[in-house]
Amino acid sequence: MNLQQMIQQLLQASVKFKSQLPYVPKAFGLVHRAAGSLTIVWLILLLIQGLLPVAMVYLTKILVDGVAAMIHAGGGWQALTALLPAIMAMACVLIGIEVMQSVNRWLRTAQSERVQDSVHELIHEQAMRLDMSFYDDPGYYDQLHRARIDAISRPAALIENAGTLLQSFITLIAMAGVLLTFGLWIPLLLVLGTLPALVVVLHHTLRFHRWRLGSTMAIRRTQYYDMMLTSREAAAEMRLFGLGPHFRGLFSNLRGRLRREKVQLARSEAFSTAGAALIGLASMAGALAWMGLQASKGILSLGDLALFVQAFFQGQRMMRSLLGSAGEIYRNIMFLENLFEFLGLKPQIRKPENPLPHPGLQKALEVRDVTFCYPGSDRAALNHFSLTIPAGRITALVGENGAGKTTLISLLCRFYDPSTGCVLIDGTDIRDLSVEALRRRITVLFQEPVRYHDTVSNNIALGDIDNRPDPEKIEAAAREAGADVPISRLPHTYSALLGKWFGGAELSGGEWQRLALARAFLRPAELIILDEPTSSMDSWAEADWLLRFRTLAAGRTALMITHRFTTAMQADIIHVMDRGRIIESGSHEELLNSGGRYAASWIRQMRGGKSSTDQGRQT
């Protein structure tokens, strides 16, 4: 890259830096809120540390001149005694430097930990505030990754770099004042000798940031491949299908590309930095040659020469430190942009400014002429869809995969808003209700419920965590869901730890599902939504659960989504969905008598079950 291109990039960097400056006070405010008192003490220490090197330089001059005078006078105890105050002062300064550095490290660690905890909290709050549509956008995962991985430590690092910059600047100004006594051109030479280093720092900081932004998805892919090779969830298929070499190859190839690009950036920076350093050394050599010439003529004393060498060397060191800190500040500000952009994302689900009181589900839940497409998709998951779910009754939805059944759950919970149409509770549009109030009155068994690696009791209690349910309610919910039997077989029953992450017991798929059912039933919600509630249960467990289901749902409105007609037939009314629309409705007997899609599917399912039973008998 030629000089003109480099200058052009630096101009672009300065424009971008100007646009990013508003993030600096935000970062300082964040640090102040998280660790205000520690930051004030730390700044005071930095001011003291910035002045101590100047004291060292002056004390060095005094000692060198004193030693030279003592040698010239022939030595003696009396001459040495005159140097004792300077020696003691030098010892105190050295001790002060060491103590200050140790205290500073402790303060930086405490400050950094507090700030990182605060940033984690902000990211977690924002992730929970944003709605489900963000998880449909791969760009969101890039933003989340950059906020969690690249930017999590940037506010604390920015403050640390700013502190180092301040300390270096104080020392540099003091050293420049010392060097001015030898001539105005010497501080100018010091500054000019380090300008190439400034160009190198800014240029390569910009290059690295661009590379990091462009490589975010590739870095996330390596993490995905690593997870596939090391996680328990994928372990069985990795071994059975021999997928290890395939994923290792994907990981190695992508990591190899990223490594080569990063090493190439580091090599280019190393050569540029070395060239800038040589220019700095040349300027120092020129200044030392001039000072040596002045000393040989007797114009300067040995103490003056020692003072100059120390001041110029410290000045160059401070300039390099200052430039390094400036480069890190620039880098941190660029990554802070990622953090504050993520924190600035706005949910798509709008909350009403003056929400209406929840009417209570007394009459019906109505889905009226709803059309909905997932973000980034042109295909309608629901197309002019209408459905009425009567209060206090059990409604079932059956249909093939992709019919839109699970999408309906997302709309009822207001994870998404429909493109057209509306969802009404007793005639009130749910968009006019508080989102929190709406969701508190709904309990859902999702198709793939979360397996919490915690105790059995906590797994169930999470269904109504705000009300802190007592053990009696937790055990009652377990009995209602049929989870009490597998729980009783665990060594410590409700206190047993579940999941392999922390050394707990593992349950079967059906047992985990029963636990999730207990969690759903624990919540005192007026609307129960069950997505494939018996999909992981064997026929005996399903039959046992169905016997008690009507009792569990008594007095509440229930919506079941299922592929199993033995489950659907328990409902008061069954709706058959196809391609986002209701094509049949009625009770189990009514649908069988109508001879439509439901009846044909029932016959196929029953024949399949009978064939399996007959096969088992023949075996």
- On average, the pLDDT of the chain sits at 79
Which residue is associated with the tokens 């024949």? Answer: 607
Q: Is the whole-model pTM more than 0.85?
A: no
pLDDT at 425: 93
Confidence tier at 288 by pLDDT (50, 70, 90): low
Torsion of CA 379, 385, 390, 395, to 10 degrees: -50
If one compares 60 and 123, the residue with the highest pLDDT of the two is: 123
Q: Which of 262-266, 283-287, 389-393, 499-503 has the highest mean predicted lDDT (pLDDT)? A: 389-393
Q: Looking at residues 543-563, what average pLDDT do you find?
A: 80
pLDDT at 455: 92
Q: Which residues pair with 528 in a beta bridge?
A: 443, 558
pLDDT at 6: 52
CB 507 within 8 A of CB 423: no
What is the tens place of the pLDDT at every residue in 81-123? Answer: 777 787 788 888 888 888 888 888 788 788 778 888 888 888 8
Confidence tier at 129 by pLDDT (50, 70, 90): confident
Inform me whether the pLDDT recorded for 613 exceeds 50. Answer: no
What is the tens place of the pLDDT at every residue in 445-497? Answer: 888 888 888 899 999 998 888 888 899 999 999 988 888 888 999 989 999 99
pLDDT at 321: 67
Least confidently predicted of 28-37, 95-104, 273-282: 273-282
If one compares 420 and 37, the residue with the highest pLDDT of the two is: 420
Confidence tier at 3 by pLDDT (50, 70, 90): low
- Written as six digits, the tokens of 126 are 């924002």
If one compares 390 and 270, the residue with the highest pLDDT of the two is: 390
CB 268 within 8 A of CB 204: yes
pLDDT at 500: 82
If one compares 515 and 501, the residue with the highest pLDDT of the two is: 515
CB 369 within 8 A of CB 429: no
Cα angle for residues 191, 194, 198 (degrees, 5° grid): 115
* CA neighbor of 513 nearest in space, from 544, 481, 488: 481
Q: In the β-sheet with 581-586, what is the strand arrangement from edge to edge? A: 442-445, 527-531, 557-561, 394-399, 573-578, 581-586
pLDDT at 192: 65
pLDDT at 229: 84
Inform me whether the pLDDT recorded for 151 exceeds 80. Answer: no
What is the tens place of the pLDDT at every residue in 219-257? Answer: 888 888 888 888 777 777 777 677 888 888 988 999 889
Q: In the β-sheet with 364-373, what is the strand arrangement from edge to edge? A: 380-390, 364-373, 420-425, 428-429
What is the tens place of the pLDDT at every residue in 292-336? Answer: 666 666 666 666 666 666 666 666 666 666 666 666 776 777 677
Q: Looking at residues 524-543, what average pLDDT do you find?
A: 79
CB 510 within 8 A of CB 536: yes
Taking the C-alpha atoms of residue 496 and residue 490, their distance in angstroms, rounded to an integer, is: 7
Q: Looking at residues 282-289, what average pLDDT do you find?
A: 70
Per-residue CA distances from 55 to 68, 174, 175, 572 (Å): 20, 10, 10, 89
b/e 383-392 (16+ beta carbons within 10 angstroms → b): bebebebebb
Cβ neighbours around 344 below 10 Å, total: 8
pLDDT at 608: 59
pLDDT at 312: 67
CB 596 within 8 A of CB 576: yes
Q: Could you write out the DSSP letters of every residue in 535-561?
A: TTS-HHHHHHHHHHHHHHTTTSEEEEE
Domains detected in the chain: 35-343 (1.20.1560.10), 363-441+526-619 (3.40.50.300), 450-524 (3.40.50.300)
Cα angle for residues 599, 532, 438 (degrees, 5° grid): 115
